[in-house]
Amino acid sequence: MAILIQLTRTHTPSWFTIKKQLFSTFRRHEKTIRRSMASDPSTGEPTRFDFLVIGGGSGGLAGARRAAELGAKTAVIENHKLGGTCVNVGCVPKKVMWNAAVHAEYLHDHSDYGFDVENVRFSWETLKAKRDAYVSHLNRIYRNNLDKAKIQTIHGHATFTNDPEPTVEVNGRKYTAPHILIATGGQPSVLSDAEVPGAHLGITSDGFFELERLPKRSVIVGAGYIAVEMAGILSTLGSKTSLVIRQTGVLRNFDAFISTNCTKELQNTGVDLWKNSQVTSVSKKDSGLEVTIVTKDPEKKNDEEKISTIQEVDCLLWAIGRQPNTSGLNLTELGVDTDERGHIVVDEFQNTSRSGIYAVGDVCGKALLTPVAIAAGRKLAHRLFENKKDSKLDYSSIPTVVFSHPPIGTVGLTEEEAVKLKGKENVKIYKTSFTPMYYALTTRKSPCIMKLVCVGKEETVMGLHMQGLGCDEMLQGFAVAIKMGATKADFDRTVAIHPTSSEEFVTMR
């Protein structure tokens, strides 16, 4: 409601008014005005903007809106739903599913806390319907926000043309601007049938959000955070879930403390973990998919490879990484450099190798996180349209949460990184493990682990890592303090909030 009311209050900027008057004959059709601004394919003369954004995801929309606020005539090109990965097939629906899974955990605890909750059945269909409704609601909000900001939305696939001036073509119409931002994001990587026969029978995290039923038998392939989150959600909601990983632990680029604990917790919560394993083929049977897995412990050189199959799989999910969305953009022709994995190479100011072309977000392959893309997009807008020459995002100490069971929070350096960077003698570690008080009354228990990585004589806290109940909400404030350069002494000086889990960070010895 609030949005609608605001819409009617919004004043029309002058450029729009002029166009409106010029084309007043078409006023019967709102859309005609938009069309009139587009290029005429017969003449090939592109429509000009101040700022052209390719990709209506978190980064692109944030950059576009900020630019428009600063007075730039802006357009966003999107070939799918507005909101990008985060809103449609990422953070938002994922967290909804995680919340649902958390309820499944609570339902185990209710009787311990005195509630008689029995004969509970779960309806995936209900949850999916509500989740989809919420996502559509967000799509509408994004659309309204763009309209409110007088940003033109162009629907379709963007391709750079060979014109001397950087120009984008969408559905046969040309658009140009002195500043063009590429924020096309990424998508889950897939394996070809040549690499793994039958690979196409599996889905990715995108497909996860299309599942109409709770799979009875799931196999997740991958050791990254998406694999961990998907396995946790499916398993907790009641799907018999196997997780196939190539080495012995998940989240291998996290602090070893977290990686080890998370691997253990996955198993504790009932995920069937296949270490040192790879899927070699997938075939379709009447009863579901048959997934063939080869397992070999590299440390036992003399052992034979073990080949096993998992039968009756109704959800095989590849979570083996993400790749940038650059195909079809015609980047090579444009002279925008990409790295060997296809990510657009940018400098600290988000400049690509071609002047006037910028990139933010997942397409750059660095810190694939919504708030990072948003912040980078906004900083860029300030630099381009407010003449703030130094406006750039600081990529250090970016906090991240993994919505595993229990959740993980991490910011700054891992112990390994700190030792490598500063030398073992300059690194001091503080650690604690405990069972959060919530579990005092429950038969289900899950530990909380915490670690501080301190560097130098001052014991500057350069890394904070944790996994446990509530860690998702704990991290943000600590991230602020760490960014400010907080030392262990600052932690010690802070009075605890009792009884919480987070107080353990300020009472650590």
Partner 1 sequence: MWSIKLGCFCFDLNSFYLSTLLYLRGQFLPRVTAALQASFSSHSCQYKSLTSKWKYDYDLVVIGGGSGGLACSKEAAQLGQKVAVLDYVEPSLKGTKWGLGGTCVNVGCIPKKLMHQAGLLGTAVKDAKKYGWQIPGPIQHDWVTMAEAVQNHVRSLNWGHRVQLQDKKVKYLNIKGSLVNEHTVRGLTKAGKEMTMTAKNIVIATGGRPKYPTNVPGAMEHGVTSDDIFWLKKSPGKTTARLLTWCLSDVALECAGFLTGIGLDTTVMVRSIALRGFDQQMAGLVTDYMEAYGTKFAWECIPKRVEKLSSGALQVTWTDTKADQEHKDTYDSVLWAVGRAPETKALGLDKLGMQLNKETGKIIVGADESTSVPNIYAFGDIGEGRPELTPTAIKAGKLLARRLAGQSTELMNYDNVPTTVFTPLEYGCVGLSEEEAEKRHGKDGLEVFHAFYKPLEFTVAERDANQCYLKVVCERGGDQRILGLHFTGPNAGEVTQGFALGFQCGATYSHLLSTVGIHPTCAEELTKVNITKRSGLDATVTGC
Of 31-60, binders to partner 1 (CB under 8 A) are 58
CB 86 within 8 A of CB 404: no
495 binds partner 1 (CB under 8 A): yes
Neighbours of 88 (CB within 10 A): 21
User: Which one of residues 33, 127, 191, 345 is an interface residue with partner 1 (CB under 8 A)?
Assistant: 127
| Residue among 22 and 496 whose Cβ is closer to partner 1 | 496
In the three-class reduction of DSSP (H, G, I as helix; E, B as strand; rest coil), residue 233 is classed as helix
DSSP classification of residue 251:
-
Neighbours of 160 (CB within 10 A): 23
| Residue whose pair of structure tokens reads 């919480």 in the numeric block | 500
211 residue type, one letter: L
Give the tokens for residue 208: 């996860």
Of 411-450, binders to partner 1 (CB under 8 A) are 432-438, 440-441, 447-448
Selected range binding partner 1 among 109-117, 224-232, 282-290, 333-341, rule: CB under 8 A = 109-117
Of 328-347, binders to partner 1 (CB under 8 A) are none
User: Which one of residues 44, 71, 456, 485 is an interface residue with partner 1 (CB under 8 A)?
Assistant: 485
Q: Is 80 a catalytic residue?
A: no
481 binds partner 1 (CB under 8 A): yes
CA distances from 373 to 23, 102, 158 (A): 37, 28, 20
Give the tokens for residue 391: 């406006």
| Smallest separation, CB 412 to partner 1 (Å) | 12
Give the tokens for residue 445: 């228990």
DSSP secondary structure string, 430-451?
Answer: EEEEE--GGGGG-S----EEEE
117 binds partner 1 (CB under 8 A): yes
| Residue among 194 and 497 whose Cβ is closer to partner 1 | 497
| Smallest separation, CB 11 to partner 1 (Å) | 15
260 binds partner 1 (CB under 8 A): no
User: Which one of residues 23, 106, 349, 430 is an interface residue with partner 1 (CB under 8 A)?
Assistant: 106
Please classify residue 278 by burial: count the beta carbons closer than 10 Å to its beta carbon, then call 0-12 exposed, 13-18 middle and 19+ buried: middle
| Smallest separation, CB 165 to partner 1 (Å) | 33
DSSP H helices, 292-369, are 331-334
| Smallest separation, CB 256 to partner 1 (Å) | 18
User: Which one of residues 157, 256, 470, 488 is an interface residue with partner 1 (CB under 8 A)?
Assistant: 470
Distance, in Å, from the CA atom of 187 to the CA atom of 360, rounded to the nearest integer, reads 15
| Residue among 176 and 410 whose Cβ is closer to partner 1 | 410
| Residue among 137 and 457 whose Cβ is closer to partner 1 | 137
| Residue among 81 and 95 whose Cβ is closer to partner 1 | 95
381 binds partner 1 (CB under 8 A): no
Strand partners, 463: 412, 453
Q: 388-394 long-range contacts, Cβ below 8 Å, gap at least 24?
A: 392/348, 392/349, 392/350, 393/350
499 binds partner 1 (CB under 8 A): yes
User: Which one of residues 123, 171, 267, 308 is an interface residue with partner 1 (CB under 8 A)?
Assistant: 123
Strands 179-182 and 51-54: parallel
User: Which one of residues 196, 233, 359, 398 is an interface residue with partner 1 (CB under 8 A)?
Assistant: 398
Distance, in Å, from the CA atom of 24 to the CA atom of 39, rounded to the nearest integer, reads 19
User: Which one of residues 30, 118, 304, 425 is an interface residue with partner 1 (CB under 8 A)?
Assistant: 118
502 binds partner 1 (CB under 8 A): yes
Q: Which residues are catalytic?
A: 498
